[in-house]
Amino acid sequence: MLSKRFEAPVQCAALPSGVELHYAQGGAGAPLIFVHGVMGDWESWAPQWEAFCAHFRCTTYSRRYNHPNRNTMPSPAHSALVEAEDLAQFMDVLGIGRAVIVASSYGAFIALALAVREPQRVAALVGVEPAMLCYAEFSASGRNQLERFRQEVVEPANAAFRRGDDALGARLMTGGIHGAGSAALQGAALQRRLQNARAMRMLALSSNEFPLLPSGALAAITAPVLLMSGKDTAAIHAEVFRNVCAAMPQARRELIAGAGHPVARDRPDRFNELALKFLLETCPNTKETT
């Protein structure tokens, strides 16, 4: 269990907005915050914990609608912009003015949204395949893949969520994101995703779950950024990643062999090696960050 790797028990932060966020902390040094994907939670970063705690004061948290948070307030326009505000408030509650952010999928979307809206809060950013589906619209091949993804995955999954069948919706979305044969659809991994199905439903029922972060705003981010993708990722993610990278010429990028969408889980050793090398090279004074 991941909890055995932590120096402190899981805690609960109450944000000024009324949202609660469960989290755990460990390590010493400059602050670093992990932000998980849609159906993950605070335990998603288990393969990274020891390696990153050796260099940073790490915090991992469960986002608004993820296990074990009890937030039930409706958010008809729920999106990465809302959760970026959650992250900013969370940092305030913890007394963190500025942090390194390591994030995956929709979590990387949230991290980029924070970097655009409050650049002073982000010391550096490592983002795995930011789930910014609107960026598929920026190329003909991307538009084709997006239409296919909507027809084959998003629409059936959203229909299941609208019927109240969260389990089916989560399975359909997981298969579409990771592939029908993914380990995420089996055993304990599937059960963990199902306990976070509500987070996917809240996005599926949102009026705009993928708001556009303008390319000019992404290009204006001055914090060091490393964007990572798996060489075996699904076509829709590859198209989005390609177009996001084109919008961020200042960002360093890495393609990881033997990995799909969940790079940090599929190739944890390689992810840890590259991410830490980048952070320690580009932020040599991170231990002084506050």
- Residue in 84, 87, 74, 98 with CA at minimum distance from that of residue 21: 87
Q: Is the pLDDT score of 287 beyond 50?
A: no
Q: How far is CA 236 from CA 9, 105, 142, 233, 257, in A?
A: 38, 12, 7, 8, 17
pLDDT tens digits along 99-136:
999 999 999 999 999 999 999 999 999 999 999 999 99
Q: Are the C-beta atoms of 272 and 48 separated by less than 8 Å?
A: yes
Summary mean pLDDT of the chain: 90
Give the confidence band of 201 by pLDDT, cuts at 50, 70, 90: confident
Better-predicted residue by pLDDT, 86 or 177 = 86
List pLDDT tens digits, range 133-187.
999 999 999 999 999 999 999 899 989 988 888 888 888 888 887 665 555 555 6
Give per-residue pLDDT as tens, 33-65.
Answer: 999 999 899 999 999 999 999 999 999 999 999
Q: Give the model's pLDDT for residue 179.
A: 64
pLDDT at 177: 77
Just give the CATH number of 2-136+211-288: 3.40.50.1820
In this prediction, residue 200 carries a pLDDT of: 85
30-35/122-128 β-pairing? unpaired
Name the percent of the chain lying above pLDDT 70.
90
Cβ atoms < 10 Å from Cβ of 34: 25
Q: Is 50 exceeded by the pLDDT of residue 288? A: no
Q: Write out the chain in H/E/C secondary structure.
A: CHHHHCCCCCEEEECCCCCEEEEEEEECCEEEEEECCCCCCHHHHHHHHHHHHCCEEEEEECCCCCCCCCCCCCCCCCCHHHHHHHHHHHHHHHCCCCEEEEEECHHHHHHHHHHHHCHHHEEEEEEECCCCHHHHHHCHHHHHHHHHHHHHHHHHHHHHHHCCCHHHHHHHHHHHHHCCCCHHHCHHHHHHHHCCHHHHHHHHCCCCCCCCCCHHHHHCCCCCEEEEEECCCCHHHHHHHHHHHHHCCCCEEEEECCCCCCHHHHCHHHHHHHHHHHHHHHCCCHHHCC
